[in-house]
Structure 1
Amino acid sequence: MSRTALITGAGRRFGYELAHALLDEGYTVYAHYNTSKGGVEELEKRGAIPIQADFSNNAEIAAMVKQLQQSIESLDILVNNASCFFNNDTIDDDDDKLDAVYQVHAIAPYRLITGLQLALAAAEDGLVINITDIYVERPSVDYIAYCSAKAALANMTLSFAKVLAPEIRVNAIQPGPILFLPEHQDEYRRSVLSETPLTVEGGLEPMIETVKFFRDNRFLTGESIKVDGGRALKI
């Protein structure tokens, strides 16, 4: 029987590449997106099943959960990867963005884990992987809401690991300088890498390898792995 995965934020960057990697292994992939449909269209050509929801909207989260409950008998992997990233000034000027930060990083993962618990438990080894951040332990003062929302997801990882064992394992990945954005200037890139002991941009493959590590090591739950080239040592 084909294994099944749900990846949120699958339209770009890590979510997109992870979806390709799991499709390569024969998974049935449900590829969630909000507005980044371009990448999901490419995944759909390979057989991925697109599913749209705006995680800032509770009704859309509920509708997505209901749709998945009706479509999936068992779910092998749930990757809570969807993200939004706003600094303090943006948050302070826009209440909707403040709400979105907590909705996307905390409320939606909570609803997905609880709503899909039966499907995860029905899998041979149901696994949840939450994508948190190296800043959950040493937060950036410029991104207070973002860091605290990711910290909520990190704590949620521990709580669900306790509650859902032994049927479901719950772990987290804390990424660091994996892949710079196009708008990042050279000076910013050099500054970040100078604070990273391994002094390189990690790329997405180490993240994908860590997902597979969590999947293949069935004695891990409640664990969080930093994939950051050592940057957390210096922030």
Structure 2
Amino acid sequence: MKNYALVTGSADRIGKAVAIHLVKQNYNLVLHYNSSKHKAEKLKEEIESIYEDTKVELLQINFLKENNFDQIFQELKKKKIIIEVLVNCASDFIPSNFKDEGSELYDKEMTINFKIPYLLTKAFASVYGSGNIINFVDTKVEKNKTVHLDYILSKKLLKDFTKISAVELAPNIRVNGIGPGLILPPPGEDESYLLNLAKNIPLKTIGNLEEIIKAVQFILESQFFTGQILYIDGGEHLV
């Protein structure tokens, strides 16, 4: 019986690419989405039509509401859904700085980008007890100058939590991270936007989803590898 991979935010962008790759690696899929119901249903239909022996379980969760992830995993386990790979990919990326008043955006960014991976990691360890966790951070976690203050704070926490988890959950669970750089342009922008930014990084070019997939596969295959962040960023985190 094939085990499952759970990818948060898997209806679109990097999450979708990772989900499709894991299906190709012979995993069934728990496809998480929040508001992208149509995209999730379409992806489920596409996967099950191409890979006839693959099961796709849709999982709608609003991460800004209170959720009992231990209970959610227990219910999945009762349905014989054994999750072997957890990919914390869902994120929220909004500009902010010291001039912004209040803590509303801080709370949102911390919840989606850190608190949810934190809670999912603990629930995964409690209910399933073994497997692989991959956390998506950001190349900018190595920097301290930012126009995305709340976002970067949340991702810096996730980077350190990745390392703490790798120690605490070993040897049965390996925990690693991926820090993408110039991979996909933000909504409303095209490749030229990224190419302009690439002038300031060592390799002076941009990446693509295939480079992210290679990192995911390396993590899954490398049994002597844990607590690391793979920066897929053309050297951006170095400057």
- Normalising by structure 2, report the TM-score: 0.87
Instruction: Classify 1:42/1:186 alpha carbon distance in 2 versus 1 (closer, same or farther; 3 Å).
Output: closer
What's the counterpart of residue 8 of structure 1? 8
What's the counterpart of residue 164 of structure 1? 169
Aligned length: 228
1:10/1:39 contact within 8 Å kept: no
Using the TM superposition, give the Cα deviation of residue 25 of structure 1 relative to its aligned residue in structure 2, in angstroms.
2.6
Looking at structure 1, the residues matched to 6 and 172 of structure 2 have their Cα atoms a distance apart, in angstroms, of 18
Q: Does 1:129 align with 2:108?
A: no
What's the counterpart of residue 142 of structure 1? 147
What's the counterpart of residue 39 of structure 1? 39
Give the one of 80, 90, 93 matched to 1:85: 93
Q: Does 1:227 align with 2:232?
A: yes
Looking at structure 2, the residues matched to 38 and 97 of structure 1 have their Cα atoms a distance apart, in angstroms, of 27
What's the counterpart of residue 177 of structure 1? 182
What's the counterpart of residue 124 of structure 2? 116
What's the counterpart of residue 72 of structure 2? 67
What's the counterpart of residue 101 of structure 1? 109
Give the one of 145, 150, 159 matched to 1:154: 159
SS at match of 1:51: strand
Q: Deviations over 1:14-42 (max 9, x none)?
A: 10111111122321111111112233112
Q: Deviations over 1:98-118 (max 9, x none)?
A: 211000111111110111214
1:101/1:145 contact within 8 Å kept: yes
Question: Which aligned runs of 4 or more in structure 1 are off by greater than 3 angstroms?
Answer: 93-96, 185-188
Q: Does 1:24 align with 2:29?
A: no
1:136/1:147 contact within 8 Å kept: yes
Structure 2 residues without counterparts, runs of 5 or longer = 49-54
2:18/2:213 contact within 8 Å kept: yes
Using the TM superposition, give the Cα deviation of residue 190 of structure 1 relative to its aligned residue in structure 2, in angstroms.
3.5
Using the TM superposition, give the Cα deviation of residue 128 of structure 1 relative to its aligned residue in structure 2, in angstroms.
0.5
Structure 1 residues without counterparts, runs of 5 or longer = none
Q: Deviations over 1:39-76 (max 9, x none)?
A: 3112221242111111122x2x32x5422222136321
Looking at structure 2, the residues matched to 89 and 138 of structure 1 have their Cα atoms a distance apart, in angstroms, of 15
SS at match of 2:62: coil
Looking at structure 2, the residues matched to 177 and 197 of structure 1 have their Cα atoms a distance apart, in angstroms, of 12
2:5/2:84 contact within 8 Å kept: yes
